[in-house]
Amino acid sequence: MRDSAIEPVGIVGLGAFGTALANVVATRGGRALLQGDDAATVAGVNEKRRNERRLPGVQLARGVRATTSIAELARETRLVVLAVPSTRAADVARLLGDVLDGRHLVVHAVGAFAGDRRLSEVIRAETCVKRIGALAGPALAPDLAEKRPSAMVVASPFDEVVAVARAALGAPPTLRVYGTRDLAGVELASAFSGALTVALGLADGLGVGAGPRAVLVTRAVAESARLGAAAGADEKTFHGLAGLGNLLVRSSSASSERSADYQAGLALARGEARRDTEGLRASRSAFLLARRLGVRVPIFEALHAVTWEGIPVDRAAARIVESAAAEE
Amino acid sequence: MAKAVRPVKEAENRLIAFNQERDALCAEVKRRVMAARLAAAARGADQSLEYVLNDAAFHEIRRLESGLAASAEKKRLGDWRELARKLGTMPETEKRDRMEALVGEYCADVVGNFNERVYRFAKGVLPAVLAGVLTPQRLTEGISGMGDLPGKVVIDGPAEQLRACADRGTLVFVPTHSSNMDSVVFGWALDRIGLPPVTYGAGKNLFSNRFISYFMHNLGAYRVDRRLRHALYKDVLKEYSAVLLERGYHSLFFPGGTRSRSGGVERKLKLGLLGTALSAYQQGIRAGAPQRRIYVVPATINYAITLEAETLIDDYLAEEGKARYIIEDDEFSSLGRLYDFTRRILALDESVCIRFGSPLDPFGNAVGEGGESLDARGRELDPSRYVTDRDGIVLDDGQRDAEYTRGLAEEIVRAYRGLTVLMPTHLLARALFDRVTEKQRTRDVYRLLRLHTELEVPIETVRADIARLRDTLARRPELGGILPRYAAMQPGDLVNEALWAFGAYHSRPVAEREGERVVVRHLRLLTYYQNRTAHIGAADLDATQAQASETGAVA
């Protein structure tokens, strides 16, 4: 058990993942301070040691505390993990900007774009914080809660951020945290995997079969890596936890029912209207980025054609299968 | 927070005290370099004294054997070879002594001087200094021939804010670099807007002209020998820069390293010297003075025509030029050429423009009117928090600092683009280059150079393209700007201004008008001048075109 006198980890967001992560930290002997607006959830965490609304049935360890006060979070913690939906990220970053200072380290676990921007860009625009990182990977809240072996990657060009985050959040075997300097890569890989999850949902909805599905997964990751490299990231990152890892878990049968992106893909296969999900928004961002950088991305283009241009699915799919195979 | 009222006055010239401090500065630099090297040596492996001395010996032997070194220097070859031979068995104390002697030698070679009498003299007769001619007869000719210097050189920027920052902390000017005229022109501009003279690292090759050397040596320049590539020499340079900043000496250096060979605005900066701004700031905190700030000031120096353009672009394009890192012999080293250039460029109105940007702190944050650091939303922040713990103690972390400096460099590069002032010469060069490469279906300059066809563009097309470029800049100020007198000019007049300037100085005109077409006469120089606009993409111009079509359709 670790010394509980060390600084607590601040986690912004009272969702399932944030709560589960706080519990992992506290179970290992550390302390975590959750922050959110929902006073009832905050009271439930502090008094009953439960977050019944978002992580039902899980008894939280003693080291987990919650507060509605963002100022208290800033005062008490140095490492701040942002675990909120991408639609709220800019607003939350703006609030953090009022209370954080240059001493703080901010690591976001928002695996999507905020508008057309990566989350690190949003945090830089809304706060004075420079030491920024991203946490991503196929660690699901139920797995963390049940202490099933999980892994994530933390990325930052600042070695200090990676070291502090790994020390604070890592709790093997429940959660192993790998490190990398490729912040842009982890952010892009994570966001693209949301878009590609939609593509997999679409493919499964059309009943493509195991072989073509495997081809789609493999080529989608390759395309993602090519686009990421053109944008300045490291290709290897896309084959790791933030890219392939995220894609596999988001489209797996265990989590697909929960995954809004996967469900959006299934809906498209049924001929339904486009839904507003993080992955679909990311698919548009990826398409526009590829066009700006002059990168060939048949899968992203086909997805964009179906979701944003109204092209029939069979015609879009034909474009992919008919595209020439180059060197792998 | 109440805004502090700052009196507008000429900023203090701190260089006056420099000469009294010279020896102390040298001693401090030597102490720090030795302390750092000895501490690193305690960790062993490739940080050992033997390794560092061997690195120096290796580089120096290679340089002295290469044939480019002066014969006086080659006498040292024997000493270096002897050192390399004996290192393996040399006692530690002797290694330390040898290193200390080398560091002392480098300090003495680097350190500058400031002579206030020379400074006042230079301020008063700058036209002659610019001309690089100082025989009594030429002096008179020079002054009378220059006309009204302030009318020729445009200076733009937040002067009052910079003066306020000069009072509160130390300024580090980091301008773009395209000509050896830059430090002289920039020094003059600083004086014009009430900013103090600066100390700056000038390439040692600039001191080869005895006359210019006299002035540079006595105006605060310190000597940087770019031929010396080894780590120990770079340690001395970096520590010297840091100590100067800590002691409050306003400074100048060119973070691009050397003059832009291509003519383009710098996109990649050298981080070594830039990082001394942050280390000086941290030292201030350690010394109990966290309010003593360091301000990094981006600036651009923009010429309608560049003195050394032909040599620079040839060097850039020549394959063997990549190894020729230092150009010893170019237009600047010829006094006659220098005088001729100065006379011609100053005959053009507003042919030189220096644009100062808003200052940044060592972390790349914007700085407010009173010198306070601001976040992206304009809120004041305490920059010491980036490097201290809860108790205000500085935490050492070289990797962290390198990342902060990288962030600062990104902000400087972004500022350069917006501060770039394009002259008619650049606009015309870009218009011609785009049309020529479109017609020849290649942007590969080497292929274009092998063509035997005349490269020409109809005058109407040139005028329209220049208008589009100008409109793009008006719409997108973050890509640069043009001077008000050119913004108001008809495109045809801009073409004429550019053609006249192109024909006024270079060995042959860059382009010429022949009836209803403009013919390219010097493709290499055309490339040089168009490269200044390289950060403006085709998509930026297309967007202007699209907007113009839309507006036209609505009308």
Cα separation, B532 vs B425, whole angstroms: 10
- Say how many Å lie between the first and final Cα of chain A, rounded: 48
Interchain pair A102, B383: CB under 8 A: yes
- How far, in whole angstroms, is CA A252 from its chain's centroid? 16
- The residue that leads in pLDDT, A73 or B548, is A73
- Number of A–B residue contacts, CB under 8 Å: 47
Half-sphere exposure at residue A37, Cβ-oriented, CA atoms within 13 angstroms: 5
**Lowest-confidence segment of A33-42, A288-297, B88-97, B208-217 by average pLDDT:** B208-217
Interchain pair A103, B385: CB under 8 A: yes
Interchain pair A101, B382: CB under 8 A: yes
A161: its two tokens: 């951020």
- The residue that leads in pLDDT, A9 or B4, is A9
The answer to whether B417 and B479 have CB atoms below 8 angstroms apart is: yes
Pairing of strands B153-156, B352-356: parallel
What value does the mean pLDDT take over residues A148-167? 97
> Largest Cα–Cα distance of chain A, in whole Å?
61
Count CB atoms within 10 A of the CB of residue A260: 18
A114 DSSP 8-state letter: B
Query: Which residues of B fall below an 8 Å CB-CB distance to A?
Result: 363, 365, 375-377, 379, 381-386, 388-390, 397, 399-400, 403-404, 406-407, 539
Query: Which residues of A fall below an 8 Å CB-CB distance to B?
Result: 97, 101-103, 124-128, 130-131, 157-160, 292
Average confidence score pLDDT of chain A: 92
* Residue found under tokens 């953090």: A96
Element (H, E) at B513: strand B511-514
Residues of B in contact with A102 (CB under 8 A): 363, 381-386
Smallest Cβ–Cβ distance between B397 and the set A127, A160, A292 belongs to A160
* Residue found under tokens 């992955």: A279
Residues of A in contact with B397 (CB under 8 A): 160
What value does the mean pLDDT take over residues A187-210? 93
Cα separation, B5 vs B21, whole angstroms: 32
What pLDDT score was predicted for residue B553?
42
Helices (H), B270-394: 271-286, 309-317, 335-345
Q: Torsion angle, CA of B319/B323/B327/B331, rounded to 10 degrees? A: 0
Element (H, E) at B459: helix B459-475
* Residues 6 or more apart whose Cβ sits within 8 Å of residue B116: B13, B15, B16
Q: What is the pLDDT of residues B466-520, one digit of tens each?
A: 999 999 999 999 999 999 999 999 999 999 999 988 887 777 889 999 999 999 9
Interchain pair B407, A130: CB under 8 A: yes
Interchain pair B400, A160: CB under 8 A: yes
Interchain pair B404, A103: CB under 8 A: no
Residue of A nearest to B406 (CA): A157
Residues of A in contact with B388 (CB under 8 A): 103
Radius of gyration (C-alpha) of chain B in whole angstroms:
25
Radius of gyration (C-alpha) of chain A in whole angstroms:
20
Residues of A in contact with B372 (CB under 8 A): none
What pLDDT score was predicted for residue A326?
65
Nearest chain A Cα distance for residue B386, angstroms: 5
Residues of B in contact with A130 (CB under 8 A): 363, 386, 403-404, 407
Count CB atoms within 10 A of the CB of residue A192: 33
**Lowest-confidence segment of A66-70, A196-200, A273-277 by average pLDDT:** A273-277
What pLDDT score was predicted for residue B216?
64
ipTM score of complex: 0.93
What pLDDT score was predicted for residue B132?
39
Q: What is the pLDDT of residues A75-111, one digit of tens each?
A: 999 999 999 999 999 999 999 999 999 999 999 999 8
How many residues appear in chain B? Answer: 555
pTM of the model: 0.89
Question: Which neighbouring-strand residues pair with B354?
Answer: B155, B301
Q: Nearest-CA neighbor of B270 among B222, B310, B325?
A: B325
pLDDT < 70: residue spans in chain B = 1-13, 45, 68, 112-151, 205-220, 319-348, 452, 551-555
- DSSP class per residue in B44-81: -GGGSHHHHHHHHHHHHHHHHHTT-S-HHHHTTHHHHH
| pLDDT beyond 90 at A328 | no
The answer to whether A75 and A10 have CB atoms below 8 angstroms apart is: no
